[in-house]
Amino acid sequence: MPRLLTRAILLDLLRTGAVTTVILVTVIAFGAALKPLAREDLFSVGQTVRYVCMAMVPMLEFALPFAAGFSATMTMHRMAIENELVAAAGCGIAYRTLLRPVLLLGVLLLVAMAGLTQQVIPRFLERLEDLLQKDILLLFQTSIGAGESVRIGDLLLWADDMAITAPPPGSGAEARLVLFRVAVAGLDATGRVEADLTAERVVLDVERDAHGTTLNLRLTDAVAYKPGDGMLAWVERPEAAALHIPRAADTHVRSMTGAELRALRARPDPFPAVDEIRRLLAQELQDMARGEALDRALATGGPVTFTREGDDGTTFLVQAAGFGRGRFEPEPGTDVVVVEYRGAEAIRRYRSRVVRLVRSEPEGLGPVLGGLRQGRGLAPADEAPPRSALVLEPCEWTDLRTPEVANRRASLRLEALDWAADPGAARDADAPTALSVEALRAAVARLPEADQDRLAALRDELDLRVDRLVGRIDGRLARRHATAATAPLLLLLGAVLAMLLRQRSALAVYAVAFLPAVLSLILISGGEQVMRDGRPVGGAVLMWSGHAATLLVTAGAWLRLRRN
């Protein structure tokens, strides 16, 4: 008899819960889809249905707990008002036996919610983001047609008109857009314009791969400006750039599975926000390593040789006493000498007290476009490894073919140079670029104290971004665990309250159980935010306090039920 009763209660719970889940998830999915669907004509009917259907799966995270509590309340309350509980008690069946199917379903819900929150829901969130990316052509067409700007990441793009054409064969592009009279603004973290660009015509090719969507741009008659440093650039000929929109799974922890989050926590290097600072710090270490190699090369008594990119046989020989702090050191009372050769012929000699080795700046719009590169900004297409430049301040140079004529400049910059080092020194100089975050920290710790002070700002920023990422990961994982426990707790609470408050209506009973559910979800969200702010213990206590309150209410109701 108990087995038959258990099966009947379980089937009733499943039937009521399934119907309630379908209704709740449909309503919540439509609510979640309002924001991307608010733009008129952004999605077609088929795309709208697809988006809503895909949004239903992530909404199970919220729908299942409420559906579980409602199904338990309705099922047990119906048994109470139809005197089935009295009949069961008369047959010697204890309340805990009647709650056996509730506990069994609670365990199943716990496993299902764990799988949903850790694996299934992140994948569907990623697909929703990808769906919006795949309709980027429609987004451009709708926004530009309405005279509005398009925001992608940290960029605002506006065009007076546009046309969609077929991409050239073999280009690998999915589509081609031609924008006319274009303005682009790069925004900083506060939403202020950090750099802006205008162009008479922009040809935009859309490409997609496993890493996201790439918009390859070719700008004609473009002018770019950075208000921060007053940099202005104008390029009449077409210049290439790229606008990359990474996959959601690469930039949002909510779109990562539990295994991916744990792997990222152990090795945060690939996360864009961390990788940006990691590369900058690695470049600084690379420059230091290159400087040490240069100093060793000069210590042997011979000059160091630089070659110019793209030139046939143009080299620069630097004669100095040593290299340190990013500059060549002259002999006492003399200058650093740089001799330019064209093949085997020496054509110019440069003399300067200060010769600095810096990174070469890209031509054209490169220096300004670099200001629009935050996360999803503009970057030069087919970005090559950084070159070096020699900066001579002040400089006196002589054309060796007419040595009687000397020229003086307050500053002279020799761009696009490669150091023709021996292979061993080159490997030593380039090694830091491949270092992980932990290896970078160890490499910085081995430096002299003065060099550590030079890198203190970058090192602290790297630590800050890693700590923020770890906090986000810990908060997201803890939230998923807490959310998975919500459904079985509300299922048990609804069942016990329905049995205890059988003299009240079912909706009144559910209203009592509904309040702890809402409180738990609010505390889970608040606890996650506290953990993201770097307070894991306080966040965990806040996150699970709602569940503790639910258990206390359930335990109190159960004790009263047993006494009665």
pLDDT score, position 162: 85
* φ and ψ at residue 553, rounded to 5 degrees: -65, -40
Residue 227 has pLDDT above 90, yes or no: no
- Asked if 98 and 9 touch (Cβ cutoff 8 Å), the reply is yes
Flag the least confident range among 16-20, 236-240, 477-481.
Answer: 236-240
Q: Is pLDDT above 50 for 425? A: no
Contact between residue 10 and residue 104 where contact means Cβ atoms under 8 Å apart:
yes
pLDDT in tens, 141-159: 777 777 778 877 677 888 8
Mean pLDDT within 291-306: 84
Q: Are 142 and 222 in contact (CB under 8 A)?
A: no
Tracing tokens 């023709």 back to the chain, one arrives at 420
Cβ count within 10 A of residue 371: 22
| Residue range 514-526: mean pLDDT, rounded | 89
Any idea which of 260-274, 282-296, 491-505 has the lowest mean pLDDT?
282-296
302-359: pLDDT as tens digits? 788 888 866 667 889 999 989 988 889 888 888 999 999 988 888 899 999 889 988 8
Q: Is 70 exceeded by the pLDDT of residue 103?
A: yes
Evaluated on CA atoms 115, 121, 126, 127, the torsion sign reads positive
The 10s digit of each residue's pLDDT in 76-89 is 888 888 888 778 77
Which is nearest to 505 in space by CA: 67, 25, 74, 62? 74
Q: Which residue has the tokens 């081995």?
A: 446
Query: Does position 379 have pLDDT exceeding 70, yes or no?
Result: no
Average pLDDT over residues 461-487: 93
Give the helix ranges, DSSP H, for 245-328.
248-251, 258-266, 272-299
**Cβ–Cβ under 8 Å, residues 162 and 180:** yes
pLDDT for 261: 92
Element (H, E) at 107: helix 100-115
Number of C-beta neighbours around residue 415 at 10 A: 16
Q: What token pair was written down for 127?
A: 């697909």
Which of the two residues, 240 and 534, has the higher pLDDT score?
534
pLDDT at 229: 62
State yes or no: cis peptide before 2, omega within 30 of 0. no
Nearest to 289 by CA among 419, 432, 385: 432
Domain edges within the chain: 144-251, 284-362+386-434
Q: In this predicted model, which residue has the larger pLDDT, 537 or 402?
A: 537
Give 397's pLDDT tier (boundaries 50, 70, 90): confident
pLDDT of residue 289: 82
Please give the model's pTM, rounded to 2 decimal places: 0.76
pLDDT, one tens digit per residue, over 31-53 is 766 655 555 545 556 667 777 78
Contact call for residues 62 and 28 (beta carbons, < 8 A) = yes
| Measured distance CA(439)–CA(330) in Å, rounded | 34
When the pLDDT of each residue in the chain is averaged and rounded to a whole number, the result is 81
Lowest mean pLDDT across 82-86, 518-522, 556-560: 82-86
Worst-scoring range by mean pLDDT, 81-90, 96-105, 258-267?
81-90
Can you tell me the distance from the alpha carbon of 291 to that of 289, in angstroms, rounded to the nearest whole number?
5
